[in-house]
Each structure stands twice: as C-alpha cells, then as structure tokens.
Amino acid sequence: MNQLEQLKQFTTIVADTGDFQAMKAFAPRDATTNPSLILKAVQKEEYRHLLEQAVRDHGGKSMGEITDRLLVAFGLEILKLIPGRVSTETDARLSFDTAGTIDKGRALIGLYEAAGIARERVLIKIASTWEGIRAAEVLEKDGIRCNMTLLFALPQAIACAEAGVQLISPFVGRIYDWYKKSTGQDYAGADDPGVQSVQRIYSYYRKFGYKTEVMGASFRNTSQITELAGCDLLTISPELLQKLSESEAPVTRKLSPEAAQQAAMEKLTLDEKSFRFMLNDDAMGTEKLAEGIRLFCADAVKLEKMIDGLR
C-alpha cells in the first residue's frame, strides 16, 4: 500500500482544498475550506461560475449575504463528492464578536438546511479566540457542530474541549514556521514543534476523556503527517496527498488512546483570565493567532472586491 492508503488505516483523511478535482482523485471522507482556499478557487476558470451565479442570484443582498451564499455553494458542491462533512468558515472579522459569530453560524447552517443538507454534515469553522470558543459553545448546544481553527496552543485546545466543541484544527505547519524562523534551525520528524504540539493536545484529550476530535492541519511536508498517524483526522492539501500516494515507505501508528493514558499531564480548568494569561505567555500562539486572523480578514476583503466587481 502507498502511504496514503496506510494512513487511512489509522486516521480519517480530509481534503484541505476548494478544488473539486482533487477530492475526486483522493477520496477523502471530509473536506475543509477557508477564505483563502475559496479565494484561490474562484480565480480558476472552472470555479468562477459559482462566484458569478452567487452574484447573479443574490446581487441585491448585502455583501455578507452574497459571501455566505458563495461559501455554501462551494460546500454544496463538495458534499456531492464526499461521504462525510464539509467545514465552512465564519468571517474572520467576527473573531472577537461572540454574538456576531453565533448569528453567522446559524445563518450558514440555515442556508445548508434550506438546500436539503442535514446540519450533521456541516462543521462551522470559527477562530479559537476566547470569544469564538464561547460562540461555539452556544452553537453546539443548538446542535450546530463547530471546527475550531487557528489553534496553536494548549490553552486554546483545553478551552475548546471544555466548551464541548465537535472538532479542533491545530495548525502544525504554522507552528513549525514560527520556530524555524525564531531559532534559525530546521526541524524534522518527531522533533518538529508543530508535531509535538498536536501530540500533546491529542494525549491531553484522550487521557482526560474529552470527546472533541483532533484534526491536524496546515502541513508543510509528509513527515509531519506520518508522525501524526493515529490522530483522529488529518486535513491535507492536494499536493501532499499526491506525495503520500506516490510513496510506499512504511507508516506506523504514532498516536493512540492507549498510549495517551500513560502521558504525564496535569488536568487544567481555564476561566477567561487564565486562558488569556496562558495564551499571552505563549509567544508563538499569540503571534500566529493574530497573524492568522489578519490573513483571513485580508482574503475576505479580496473576495468581496471580486464580488463587488461583478455587481
């Protein structure tokens, strides 16, 4: 078996793309999107019709509503190609707005349900700020499942689990990027700080009985992926899916609930003050969260300019 086939024995594979052809090629169970991926996709000729149709059908509505329609249009097409769930992201400009995020999550689910899609097949992606986590807690109680993104640090993961969210997406590659830049050294295999971060989160969740799913994300190379074999889910770009499918090097399980039970860890309970202090104390987590929100906001603005150009 190639590495991708071996990985599927231990881990649910998710496609991290807005490219429908890649989904057909690699047969993932789930798929994730974000503003950057949608922006990239609508600039391709084969997907531009979705943008044009959203503007044509809803051009008289607010910019936020047109954007929501476009995101859901992509999600609906993706759900035709996969058996599982699609993740659709809320506006990153709502990252510090609990009420606004709740409203946006409900609006997105409403559009999916109006199109005949059960809410169980959709994950609403929300930035892992304190405000975002509080919004997810409310949405989960409504039966709206959430995928907490831009997650870089253990306090974010703990707060998400305590809020009862469905799934978190810790960003392996961006953590690696930060440490590589700050230390001037490269990292590989089990020494990779991004890999170690997800291993620590996974072990914490399984040791203390949290049901929240862990989905490693934002990979830079296949080594980061194979070191997390056994993680609940891994969301992988088409380029790295291709590399995994071309290699027959052995893949062994690295993470398991049984091994997690042996981890030497202390259980923490976080209120808002301790969450903010612990996150602030983590320079990497603080900087990458802020940077990630800025980047997603910038791409949301670019997408709106494309929409405005067609109205």
In the annotation, is 24 catalytic?
A: no
Q: What is the mean pLDDT of residues 152-164?
A: 98
Task: With cut-offs at 50, 70 and 90, classify the pLDDT of residue 311.
Answer: confident
DSSP H helical segments within 59-117, as ranges? 63-79, 98-114
Percent of the chain with pLDDT over 90: 96
Task: With cut-offs at 50, 70 and 90, classify the pLDDT of residue 150.
Answer: very high
Classify residue 117 by burial, with Cβ atoms within 10 Å: 0-12, 13-18, 19+: middle
The DSSP H or E segment spanning 150 is: strand 146-151
Which pLDDT belongs to residue 213?
98
Class of domain 3-310: alpha beta
SS3 content of the chain, % helix, strand, coil (to 5): 60, 10, 30
Q: What is the mean pLDDT of residues 35-60?
A: 93
Annotated catalytic residue within 40, 61, 125, 273? 125
Q: How confident is the prediction for the chain on average, in pLDDT?
A: 96
CA–CA gap between residue 63 and residue 81 (Å, rounded): 28
Torsion of CA 259, 262, 263, 267, to 10 degrees: 120
CA–CA gap between residue 64 and residue 61 (Å, rounded): 8
Which pLDDT belongs to residue 35?
81
Q: List the chain domain ranges.
A: 3-310
Classify residue 178 by burial, with Cβ atoms within 10 Å: 0-12, 13-18, 19+: buried
Report the SS3 class of residue 272: helix
Which pLDDT belongs to residue 201?
98
**55's tokens:** 């503007």
Q: Give the amino acid at 5.
A: E
Classify residue 283 by burial, with Cβ atoms within 10 Å: 0-12, 13-18, 19+: exposed
Report whether 156 contacts 128 (CB < 8 A).
yes
Which pLDDT belongs to residue 267?
96
DSSP tag of 90 = P
CA–CA gap between residue 3 and residue 251 (Å, rounded): 6
Task: With cut-offs at 50, 70 and 90, classify the pLDDT of residue 276.
Answer: very high
Instruction: Reply yes or no on whether the pLDDT at 137 is more than 90.
Output: yes
Task: With cut-offs at 50, 70 and 90, classify the pLDDT of residue 79.
Answer: very high
Within its chain, how far is the Cα of 275 from the centroid? 21
CA–CA gap between residue 164 and residue 173 (Å, rounded): 25
Q: What is the mean pLDDT of residues 120-129?
A: 98
DSSP tag of 91 = P
Task: With cut-offs at 50, 70 and 90, classify the pLDDT of residue 33.
Answer: confident
Instruction: Reply yes or no on whether the pLDDT at 270 is more than 90.
Output: yes
- Higher pLDDT pick, 35 / 276: 276
Q: Is the pTM of this model over 0.75?
A: yes
Question: Hunting for tokens 């531009």 — which residue is that?
Answer: 48
Question: Which residues are 213's β-sheet partners?
Answer: 167
Which tens digits make up the pLDDT trace of 84-108?
Answer: 999 999 999 999 999 999 999 999 9
